[in-house]
């Protein structure tokens, strides 16, 4: 197959996306596909005269891949580095190349990659892509709305509220919450802008920092517990994985720096809790109108209560990411996982 692997973009998870997509591209090449790694924002400035020759270029676009640093990318610098200085999210030749491909593998994370806008655009343009549809992506991207869907569907989630930047009274008393709480952007990812706060001063500082990323944040009750993730493919949950940060919680640095966290899969938990977590993952997936694949994040408190935090519609896909590790525990190797995602995406939308 001719496959464009789309990455990068303008979200705070840009570097994570480039690393994920590079791994996807390499394994698809190993599987015999004609794959090309493309930054959705930077595009391809100087394509070959025959655009279709892109799929057989020697470097396959992998020169844009980079390591994930401890800090989030400088998006202003990314914008300034685009040669054509266009404010269009889609870079030069992106649409043309995606239309030439048999399918576009979405290796994007956060922002326009996961909020449904790109998926809806591709639907209108007749471009085939991997992962959930635009509706599921749009619903799951909003953490506040997701929380309401979970509560209405009988899925336990930490108590919390959405707070807009322009709200006059930001006090916890006005929100009906008390310390400690978690403050996080409503639509962010990779734990960027997420703060666990224990004092009023920390709360005000966290609000200021989180509002830097978005105009709406979620404030929720802090649940002390063990951290887990549970992937799902084609409506079937994978074995859960436990994440054990060596310091703090599973923030941006702990997620992507080697040795910063231990990850145990299958998770060392009683069978009834494992099965309950997998069942909740399926319920959350269905409630949010998702399809193809995604990943749920959970907390397990000392009393054995499970809380679903969110669903990630395009979870990390480096070979060391959580979903591939869960798939491996289920007997699905990384290359097989990439091809399975393509197969299930085609079945979900394009084979009817």
Phi-psi region of 214 (alpha: psi -120 to 50; beta: other; left: phi over 0): beta
Residue 296 in this model has a pLDDT that exceeds 60: yes
Q: Widest CA span of the chain, in angstroms? A: 64
Give residue 247's pLDDT.
Answer: 64
How far is residue 186's CA from residue 176's CA, in Å, rounded to a whole number? 18
How far is residue 311's CA from residue 313's CA, in Å, rounded to a whole number? 6
The pair of structure tokens assigned to 71 is 């800090």
Under 8 Å between Cβ of 42 and 91? yes
Under 8 Å between Cβ of 158 and 165? no
The pair of structure tokens assigned to 126 is 């007749």
Residue 172 in this model has a pLDDT that exceeds 70: yes
Under 8 Å between Cβ of 301 and 223? yes
How far is residue 157's CA from residue 218's CA, in Å, rounded to a whole number? 13
Q: What average pLDDT does range 308-315 have in this prediction? A: 95
Dihedral angle, C-alpha 332, 333, 334, 336, nearest 10 ° = -70
- At the second CATH level, the architecture of 2-129 is 3-Layer(aba) Sandwich (3.40)
* The residue count for the chain: 352
Element (H, E) at 218: strand 216-221
The pair of structure tokens assigned to 180 is 């400690």
Element (H, E) at 178: none
197 or 167: which leads in pLDDT: 197
What does the pLDDT look like over 216-268, one tens digit per residue? 899 999 999 999 999 999 999 999 999 998 765 444 444 444 555 899 999 99
Give residue 255's pLDDT.
Answer: 47
Three-class SS state of 184: strand
How far is residue 312's CA from residue 323's CA, in Å, rounded to a whole number? 10
Q: What average pLDDT does range 128-136 have in this prediction? A: 97
End-to-end CA distance of the chain: 19
Eight-class DSSP state of 180: S
**Strand order through the sheet with 34-39:** 34-39, 2-7, 103-106
Dihedral angle, C-alpha 83, 88, 90, 94, nearest 10 ° = -60
Give residue 322's pLDDT.
Answer: 94
How far is residue 113's CA from residue 108's CA, in Å, rounded to a whole number? 5
Measured in degrees and rounded to the nearest 5, phi and psi for residue 38 equal -135, 130
Q: Where are the domains of the chain?
A: 2-129, 159-221, 226-349
Q: What average pLDDT does range 99-121 have in this prediction? A: 95
How far is residue 131's CA from residue 231's CA, in Å, rounded to a whole number? 13
Phi-psi region of 273 (alpha: psi -120 to 50; beta: other; left: phi over 0): alpha
Going by C-beta distance under 8 Å and a sequence separation of 6 or more, which residues neighbour residue 203?
172, 179, 181, 183, 197
Superfamily of domain 226-349: ATP-grasp fold, B domain (3.30.470.20)
- Which segment of 66-70, 124-128, 156-160, 205-209 scores lowest on mean pLDDT? 66-70
pLDDT confidence tier of residue 289, bands split at 50, 70 and 90: very high
Give residue 246's pLDDT.
Answer: 73
Give residue 191's pLDDT.
Answer: 54
- Which segment of 6-15, 58-67, 127-136, 250-259 scores lowest on mean pLDDT? 250-259
pLDDT confidence tier of residue 187, bands split at 50, 70 and 90: confident
CATH of 159-221, picked from 3.40.190.80, 3.30.1490.20, 3.40.950.10, 3.30.200.20, is 3.30.1490.20
Element (H, E) at 300: strand 293-300
Give residue 319's pLDDT.
Answer: 81
Eight-class DSSP state of 132: S
The pair of structure tokens assigned to 54 is 């892109």
Residue 103 in this model has a pLDDT that exceeds 60: yes
């Amino acid at each position: 197959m001719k496959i464009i692997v789309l990455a990068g973009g303008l979200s705070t998870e840009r570097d994570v996306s480039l690393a994920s997509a590079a791994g996807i591209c390499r394994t698809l090449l190993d599987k015999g596909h004609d794959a090309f790694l493309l930054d959705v924002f930077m595009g391809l400035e100087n394509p070959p005269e025959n655009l279709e020759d892109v799929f057989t270029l020697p470097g396959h676009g992998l020169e844009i891949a980079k390591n994930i640093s401890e800090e989030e990318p400088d998006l202003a610098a990314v914008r300034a580095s685009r040669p054509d200085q266009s404010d269009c999210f889609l870079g030069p030749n992106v649409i043309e190349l995606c239309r030439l491909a048999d399918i576009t593998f979405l290796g994007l994370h956060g922002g326009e990659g996961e909020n449904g806008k790109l998926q809806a655009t591709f639907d209108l343009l007749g471009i085939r892509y991997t992962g959930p549809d635009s509706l599921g992506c749009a619903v799951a991207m909003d953490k506040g709305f997701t929380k309401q869907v979970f509560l209405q569907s009988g899925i336990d989630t930490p108590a919390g509220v959405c707070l807009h930047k322009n709200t006059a009274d930001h006090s916890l008393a006005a929100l009906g919450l008390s310390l400690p709480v978690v403050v996080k952007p409503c639509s962010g990812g990779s734990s960027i802008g997420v703060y666990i706060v224990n004092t009023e001063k920390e709360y005000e500082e966290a609000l200021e920092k989180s509002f830097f990323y978005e105009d709406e944040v979620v404030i929720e009750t802090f649940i002390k517990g063990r951290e887990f993730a549970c992937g799902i493919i084609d409506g079937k949950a994978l074995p859960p994985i436990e994440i054990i940060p060596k310091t703090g919680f599973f923030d941006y640095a702990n997620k992507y720096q080697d040795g910063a966290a231990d990850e145990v899969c299958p998770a060392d938990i009683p069978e009834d809790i494992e099965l309950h977590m997998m069942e909740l993952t399926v319920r959350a997936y269905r409630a949010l109108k998702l399809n193809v694949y995604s990943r749920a994040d959970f907390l397990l408190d000392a009393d054995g209560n499970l809380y679903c935090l969110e669903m990630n519609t395009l979870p990390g896909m480096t070979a060391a990411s959580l979903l591939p590790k869960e798939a491996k525990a289920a007997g699905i190797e990384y290359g097989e996982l990439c091809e399975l995602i393509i197969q299930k995406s085609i079945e979900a939308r394009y084979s009817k």
